[in-house]
């Protein structure tokens, strides 16, 4: 049987499929146990200086689109749901949001002396209990890599042109590169699909200028 190479391999790279090898890549017979492979992915992600997360999350009724950069305890990017958008910057425990009035309107009753319209288009620092407004805007990626005890390893193939495989607990599936470092490159679950990339990009995440910030506190 003729080996699958060239354009045929490129076509197969559209999904995670077997049969496409590359010089210097691990064998398609990689025998790393599923639990060890997942631990390697978690470790690799934890050591990455930064990475980008794109994709969608859903609660079954609405879908959120994310495009975020993670760098240690800092995050920045965009969040969008049903035409409502927000820019997000997190620096440790401090969260800044910039969004239109439609984003703030659902929180109108909880806004301490602030009308949604006055916050539209401004950077808002969330303090005290008001910080709950930002919960869920930037998912805990490390937490999403914690799977159940019964793990199954998928076949070896390619993902984005790189050798990869999957680990699943039957509900959530993690796509993992087999070249070192073994980064997780996709998290697929009933709550949506997130792709991870740009693991070594130089990223600087700073808060917005102080004169552009409104502090929103519920205390």
pLDDT digit string (tens) for 155-187? Answer: 999 999 999 999 999 999 999 999 999 999 999
Residues 168 and 179 reside in one and the same domain = yes
How many structural domains are present in the chain? Answer: 2
**What's the token pair of residue 26?**
């691990």
Residues 40 and 134 reside in one and the same domain = no
7 inside domain: no
Residues 185 and 209 reside in one and the same domain = no
**What's the token pair of residue 168?**
């699943």
Domain range for 185: 24-48+142-189
pLDDT at 219: 55
Mean pLDDT in residue range 80-102:
90
| Per-residue pLDDT tens over the stretch 20-31 | 444 444 455 678
Confidence (pTM):
0.81
Residues 74 and 87 reside in one and the same domain = yes
Residues 91 and 172 reside in one and the same domain = no
Q: Judge whether 160 and 189 are in contact, CB under 8 Å.
A: no
pLDDT at 11: 34
| Per-residue pLDDT tens over the stretch 40-61 | 999 999 999 999 999 999 887 8
- Taking the alpha carbons at both ends of the chain, their separation in whole angstroms is 71
13 inside domain: no
CA distances from 21 to 15, 64, 162 (A): 14, 36, 9
pLDDT at 134: 80
């Amino acid at each position: 049987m003729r080996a699958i190479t060239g354009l045929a391999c490129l076509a197969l790279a559209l999904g995670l499929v077997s049969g496409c090898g590359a010089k210097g890549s691990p064998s398609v017979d990689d025998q790393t146990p599923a639990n060890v492979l997942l631990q390697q992915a978690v470790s690799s992600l934890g050591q990455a200086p930064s990475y980008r997360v794109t994709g969608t999350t859903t609660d079954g009724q609405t879908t959120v689109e994310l495009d975020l950069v993670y760098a240690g305890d800092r995050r920045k990017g965009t969040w969008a749901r049903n035409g409502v958008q927000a820019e997000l910057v997190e620096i440790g425990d401090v969260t800044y949001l910039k969004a239109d009035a439609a984003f703030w309107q659902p929180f109108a009753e909880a806004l301490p002396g602030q009308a949604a319209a006055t916050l539209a288009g401004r950077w808002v620092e969330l303090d005290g209990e008001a910080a709950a407004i930002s919960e869920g805007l930037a998912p805990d990626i490390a937490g999403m890599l914690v799977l159940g005890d019964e793990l199954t390893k998928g076949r070896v193939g390619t993902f984005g042109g790189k050798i990869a495989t999957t680990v699943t607990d039957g509900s959530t599936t993690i796509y993992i590169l087999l070249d070192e470092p073994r980064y997780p490159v996709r998290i697929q679950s009933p709550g949506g699909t997130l792709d991870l990339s740009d693991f070594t990009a130089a990223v600087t995440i700073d808060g917005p200028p102080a004169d552009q910030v409104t502090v929103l506190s519920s205390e």
